[in-house]
Structure 1
């Protein structure tokens, strides 16, 4: 069945050009359609949390982000769901339309995160770029990336950390990373945790880690580290300072 869905999705992608896709994506979703889709999805899987119903690039097909899960494509009746990567066809090759659609969503949501809720490692001298990093303190590649942060800062890149404890809210890992957000010197506390040391601060209830974990899930974070550029593009996994400098065009 899954293979059939992917075949259907591929056929749908091959029937439209990017201009037609853009026109479809600009059409508002009728409230009755949105309500019908969410009612069907919630009835089938009430254990999932669903985002807003938005137009997909294919006329008559809509897209819904499952929090902590994939983007799904749904018929107007809500009776049929497709999963997989929706590709657009261009003269230069295939384009991942799902990723393109998520970029402005990520940018808008991350722009609303208050600076005091981030743990920021500022650029040295003039800031040339900034990145967001969803991180866990018990992740080997997160620790490796953190070792590159001083070099990133030296290259003019500001690093803005957000918490994403992979073990989930309420876990020991959650309480560990939350203690960094409770510390007086947050960057120092986070660095200590990345080095396998106690943060030096006590866990506190009033911290933004749970909301950042939920935000990461909504933005498509599936693992750590997850780097998001200022324009909303996501780079999943470890990226060195030198590689990042090239990606940012510095």
Structure 2
């Protein structure tokens, strides 16, 4: 678990991330294809997304599938990985993180909520969070024990599956059992309570897709991983009070 101090610091950074994201222009398709070909000849495993003008003159940018953003020269001869910052009178603005925030927020908002296991407040939901979870994770269990309190605060908890041991594991079969159950919420709770239940994995379940989403879009490195509505990612467990403060409740 990350220390509370570090997690609180992450939450405190939410406000600066809400600044507008610079819109980048598309580039000539012929130029883009030439750059992509040159890079992939050097490294066939490197899959570049759409090339666009970056906020830095003379430099293009593209997403590398599952591996962040690359900034590349216009001839494709040089590139760097890492975050691009804008220097302003107010301080440094992480333009790369602003872009990632929007991508994550849009991606999560576009998911089918029916593919999640959702614990909703009895009354009006003031906010919601997405949680990538694993039934064999100690801090996932601790967070799940907080769900009733989070619900009372008006926070809806939307679970997505992230079996850390992968798809060919007992962890996958356990969590898939929850998603395949007639009562998903109760089954997930029983699993997190370490109860013995019959394993039953249905053919059509969203676990593989949610695992891929966690790896390639959100950048999950452990569980629980919490995604706020604005796209902010908080790795690890945080108490309900800290969660509510980060959500502005």
Measured against the shorter chain, the TM-score band is 0.7 to 0.9
Structure 1 runs of 4+ aligned residues shifted over 6 Å read none
Partner residue, 1:60? 58
SS at match of 1:63: strand
Q: CA deviation at 1:107?
A: 1.9
Residue among 159, 168, 171 paired with 1:170 = 168
SS at match of 1:152: helix
* 1:243 is the counterpart of 2:239: no
Q: How many Å separate the matches in 2 of 1:41 and 1:141?
A: 41
Task: Note closer, same or farther for the CA distance 1:93–1:216 as it changes in structure 2 (3 Å cut).
Answer: same
Q: How many Å separate the matches in 1 of 2:131 and 2:102?
A: 17
Partner residue, 1:183? 181
* 1:148 is the counterpart of 2:136: no
Q: CA deviation at 1:208?
A: 0.7
Task: Note closer, same or farther for the CA distance 1:125–1:73 as it changes in structure 2 (3 Å cut).
Answer: same
SS at match of 2:139: helix
Q: How many Å separate the matches in 2 of 1:118 and 1:37?
A: 39
Residue among 57, 67, 70 paired with 2:68 = 70
* 1:197 is the counterpart of 2:199: no
Task: Note closer, same or farther for the CA distance 1:186–1:53 as it changes in structure 2 (3 Å cut).
Answer: farther
Q: How many Å separate the matches in 1 of 2:157 and 2:130?
A: 6
* 1:138 is the counterpart of 2:136: yes
Q: How many Å separate the matches in 2 of 1:143 and 1:131?
A: 16
Q: How many Å separate the matches in 2 of 1:52 and 1:162?
A: 28
| Higher alpha-carbon deviation: 163-172 or 151-160 | 163-172
Q: How many Å separate the matches in 1 of 2:61 and 2:88?
A: 21
Q: How many Å separate the matches in 2 of 1:190 and 1:51?
A: 36
**Matched ranges for 1:1-250 at <5 A:** 22=22, 25-198=23-196, 200-223=198-221, 224-250=223-249
Task: Note closer, same or farther for the CA distance 1:31–1:211 as it changes in structure 2 (3 Å cut).
Answer: same
Q: CA deviation at 1:95?
A: 2.2
Contact 1:180 1:199 in 2 (8 A): no
Partner residue, 2:13? none
Q: Which has the higher contact order (CA 8 A, sep 6+)?
A: 2
SS at match of 2:163: coil
Q: CA deviation at 1:30?
A: 2.6
Unaligned runs of 5+ in 2: 1-20
SS at match of 2:128: strand
- Give the TM-score normalised by the residue count of structure 1: 0.81
| Higher alpha-carbon deviation: 62-71 or 103-112 | 62-71
Partner residue, 1:6? none
Equivalenced residue count is 228
